Structure 1
């Protein structure tokens, strides 16, 4: 893998320390991931009898300007009995909320859709009678005709299918006249990457092998209208067990639920996916679901920095009902807000305790590289092509008098570049500039960055990320 900073490439890039493709060469260091902190309810359900008396989420959070926008599914009606899935109530509508800080949310009265004789609600206008609770929204302000693009699930001719819609304001939607555009797909993420659109979700369970299994499946399109006729498997956690003795096996293995909600950082995509921990009985009432982390460099193939790591554990969520097996549902939307990173999600089942929740990390510190043996601990990046010049910044913690980082620039062949000898970073920082005695930028060329962990206690150093920012003339 090569990261390219150029007029026809990127102007900035982030190299997360937990990304093995960004840091392929390593010695005496290991990846640590950091679970989300300070889980809290930020959008509780509405009062009984309202259109969102249960909140399923299955939606998106976008920050546009100074305002956060949320689309979520409200659900209403008597709870279904028996089966333990998350569609706990018979009817769902797509709803809208806004926030100035991503924590305190308002439900504006949109006046668009009538519910129980009144339009004083926050239901968006999506005229599809087959709408099902699964959707992901992309915002492209450069597209003046249809800046908001929606991938959603709807029942068509008795089958759940992949559909799309477009909007100028995110509130009044026009379903695509050629819907459905694909097979069954419960989606959680959407992005545009390298000129193509990608929707990530949970597709047909037997699309890629005989045994039923939930996998992270990716569909692609050039124009958001005509989509790949079948999906690509981006990540699979389930065993490949086939044969006549497994025909009735279902829901009992490790799987991926709803694909992944995506955070496109330009050169890398972070995905928050559902870790389906099936119960040996196959009864969905007893399964649990944490949320895990996967990364991609092409929007198709995903890998886990630490396989099976629960980035957001389902256990003991605030407001969750006692006596039920804990299970979470991811959504689309992750944002850096000041010195913190926010992510929104919800419980999976539409029973008591529903509502959108949020966790936090210190900004971009979802993980780190930490020495496990002090001698010779170091990492080297993949090649970076720089057109013009670029500034380098580091996100690191645990630094001080006895622990520091030594950062230098090498050519592609691992030889030191004159003028970029190791410089010491011994203070914590979220985006600390790296400057050499005669250089505050890295000149044009093809390079690698080397980071050495040094000091009396190098094992205290935590490297979270490097940032490259192209200098524009």
Structure 2
């Protein structure tokens, strides 16, 4: 199956009249997880430098979140969460929902791999062991965790990290903050940035390599020497034929010297942008850098910062859900009123970014598609909003000439899954010749296409 988002230009041969746009998430007007009275271990906030996954039986959801260790919560609907007493860690005589606690321990990212030949490694965790390195842990059930000899296995990085697995190569990809932030920076040195470390066995990891850095656009707003753009962290996950990701962008607007008790010296808002990749290693930012998870209105739980996000999204019906750490104040806010909670962002399936055209005639062509005779009958489905507009689909040869019988299909309305049917009733795509898909439109937005056998 081919599943292509219009997130980059790699599979586009030509494009005219279309503009790439980010689609802001639908946010809830309340957090889904927040500190609760009677749970003193959550007093400093509930952070999601962690993971949300469906239940093993598909009947609900599980969350591994953070506050001086790894906490666990469950939900039937992904909105209302329960924090069970698990009998594993007792604090001041009170049972808690901790599943993994050690010192130092900051943040964690969890993978579930039920097909691992070693059942004791079905769950894998990458966690920061303080501010300068990362360790790994394994679990058969997501509750009982054990560390291998040799932690910290990653003797580099700082505080924030996420991990996914490449479905094509089998490699684990660790997206780590490269270094501790500094009050004084020299160009990129001292800024929060993201690097990549890889592993084939989750035990031995490659040296941390630069991956994505702030650029001149991130600093365009700066008017003082200490103003700068930084990347608080990053999450990326395989999706369709590519990777999608989220990049929290921190605008450092002030440095507090000294900060108040419990206050970060680094002040400023954090918003979240969309990024994409073809291999999980080389990432590109969207030409539209508007927030893909918008901060809430003044006074709301996420008004000041979208600080970090879960390592992977959750696909729920026709939606993409991505959970995030939310702050009601900017990063350097004082407590109170600063409150750190967990929010949920949602988009319709495939609709984090799209190609939009106006009233004029717009055209784009994909690169060559070759199915082959053994692929079986294949059909074409298009995710597009054509409300009030027009969109025609045709197939053409690599030289641009239309393929007879595959011209004049029209899409109307808004659908996540328009099936392309040509005027002669043909639904099947040709399997004996290479072809391109050509779209001609006005007042329409294209999000993705799927070639499905």
TM range (shorter): 0.7 to 0.9
Higher strand share: 1
2:281 paired residue number: 300
2:363 paired residue number: 378
Q: Is the 8 A contact 1:36 1:360 kept in 2?
A: yes
Matches within 5 A, 1:324-339: 326=305, 328-339=307-318
> Alpha carbons of 1:267 and 1:399: their partners in 2 closer, same or farther (altered >3 Å)?
same
1:396 paired residue number: 384
1:73 paired residue number: 66
1:467 paired residue number: 450
Q: Is the 8 A contact 2:4 2:240 kept in 1?
A: no
SS at match of 2:69: strand
1:63 paired residue number: 54
Deviation, structure 1 residue 123? 0.8
1:201 paired residue number: 176
Deviation, structure 1 residue 345? 0.7
| 1:50 pairs with 2:50 | no
Deviation, structure 1 residue 61? 0.9
CA-based RMSD of the aligned residues comes to 2.9
Deviation, structure 1 residue 72? 0.4
1:216 paired residue number: 194
Residue from 182, 204, 216 that aligns with 1:226: 204
* Count of matched residue positions in the alignment of Structure 1 and Structure 2: 417
Please give the TM-score of this superposition, normalised by the length of structure 1.
0.80
Unpaired segments of 5 or more residues in structure 2? 218-224, 258-264
2:109 paired residue number: 136
Deviation, structure 1 residue 391? 2.4
CA distance in 1, matches of 2:318, 2:12: 24
| 1:369 pairs with 2:355 | yes
Residue from 120, 124, 127 that aligns with 1:152: 127
Q: Is the 8 A contact 1:18 1:33 kept in 2?
A: no
SS at match of 1:51: helix
Unpaired segments of 5 or more residues in structure 1? 1-11, 75-91, 241-248
2:222 paired residue number: none
> Alpha carbons of 1:438 and 1:262: their partners in 2 closer, same or farther (altered >3 Å)?
same
| 1:356 pairs with 2:342 | yes
Q: Is the 8 A contact 1:344 1:358 kept in 2?
A: yes
SS at match of 1:165: strand
Please give the TM-score of this superposition, normalised by the length of structure 2.
0.83
Q: Is the 8 A contact 1:29 1:369 kept in 2?
A: yes
Deviation, structure 1 residue 209? 7.9
> Alpha carbons of 1:219 and 1:360: their partners in 2 closer, same or farther (altered >3 Å)?
same
SS at match of 1:464: strand
Deviation, structure 1 residue 379? 1.4
> Alpha carbons of 1:443 and 1:24: their partners in 2 closer, same or farther (altered >3 Å)?
closer
